Amino acid sequence: MVRILAIGDPHGIVPKGIPSRDIDLILLTGDLGKADLARKRSFENKTREQEGLPKLEETKEHVRAVHNEIHYSTVNLLKALSKVAPVYSIQGNVGIPGASHAREENEKHGLHLPSTYDAIKKMKHVYIVKNRLRVIDNLRLGFLEYFMDTSWVREFHPPKYSQKMKVARKETDKAKRVLDRFGRDLDILVCHQPPFGILDRVNFPGAPKNWQGKHAGSEAVLDYIKKYQPRYVLCGHIHEGAGERSLGKTKIINLGMGKYTIIEM
């Protein structure tokens, strides 16, 4: 038997009450770092964009604060969890800044920001899996990182719609190819977005008013579940959608933000 600790988007916080032993594997649904500053600025800019106003200027101080909040909370979280069991995660929409990103920001703003991805690569028993199938303890696990689904663009109709849809088509086509490679007999799909229409309704007070009540899940993930029926789908992203649903033979678990469950397989 394999005991899996599945944790939803932790955002830099180790959930209280998680087991400290007898866990074989930890799975995370992305959004590892605390991103309060980045999320606040993102929502502010979305509101300004809808009102036809320019985005807020990215000052040196703000760039440093956003990066360091994500970086150090991510590193500290993974160090703590890796003491319990090997940790496997995907990229969420709160990404893990790589060396090239840190270098660009440093050059642009005259900073000395650390590379989060480089720091993670030096850790033992921590793995960021990018759109790959892994066989771990005889279990077939598929890891699908965050992408912009065409269903999100249609549902939310953001500014620069045609441009966003072009990007979404490219990313969605790639995600579908990844999912098709996973194919049948998948024990667990780890992804960031829930399937469209299931545990994915936006009801977060801080989100723009025109987002409220809309479905932010992925049709590509939904279609994969219907076609291939993995045993489990673990997701997050829409924190207020936390819960469990079944679709055919598949158990879908939206772990929300920092919620966790134990799966024995």
Place of tokens 């979404």: 168
pLDDT band of residue 51 (cuts 50, 70, 90) is confident
pLDDT for 58 equals 85
Q: Please compute, for residue 37, the number of CA atoms within 13 A of its CA located in the half-sphere on the CB side.
A: 15
Q: What does DSSP assign to residue 209?
A: G
* Alpha carbon distances (Å) from 231 to 81, 99, 159, 188: 25, 36, 38, 6
- pTM listed for this prediction: 0.92
Percent of all residues in the chain with a pLDDT value above 70, rounded to a whole number = 100
Q: Across the beta sheet with 132-136, what order do the strands follow?
A: 132-136, 139-144, 188-191, 232-235, 250-254, 243-247
Whether 97 has a pLDDT exceeding 80, the answer reads: no
* Alpha carbon distances (Å) from 73 to 48, 151, 196, 257: 29, 31, 30, 15
- What is the distance between the alpha carbons of residues 136 and 133, in angstroms, rounded to a whole number? 10
pLDDT for 109 equals 82
pLDDT band of residue 105 (cuts 50, 70, 90) is confident
What residues does each domain of the chain span?
3-264
Whether 116 has a pLDDT exceeding 90, the answer reads: yes
Tens of pLDDT, residue by residue over 1-35, are 999 999 999 999 999 999 999 999 999 999 999 98
Burial bucket for residue 16 (CB in 10 Å: 0-12, 13-18, 19+):
exposed
- Token reading at 240: 């207020």
Whether 94 has a pLDDT exceeding 90, the answer reads: no
Contacts of 33 (CB under 8 A, 6+ apart): 11, 12, 69, 70, 71, 73, 74, 77, 94, 96, 116
- What is the distance between the alpha carbons of residues 216 and 237, in angstroms, rounded to a whole number? 9
- What DSSP string describes 219-252? HHHHHHHHHH--SEEEE-S-GGG-EEEEETTEEE
CATH 3.60.21.10 fits 3-264, yes or no: yes
Burial bucket for residue 21 (CB in 10 Å: 0-12, 13-18, 19+):
exposed
Nearest to 91 by CA among 257, 230, 194, 237: 237
Give residue 248's region: left, alpha or beta (phi > 0; psi -120 to 50).
left
Q: How high is the mean pLDDT of the chain?
A: 94
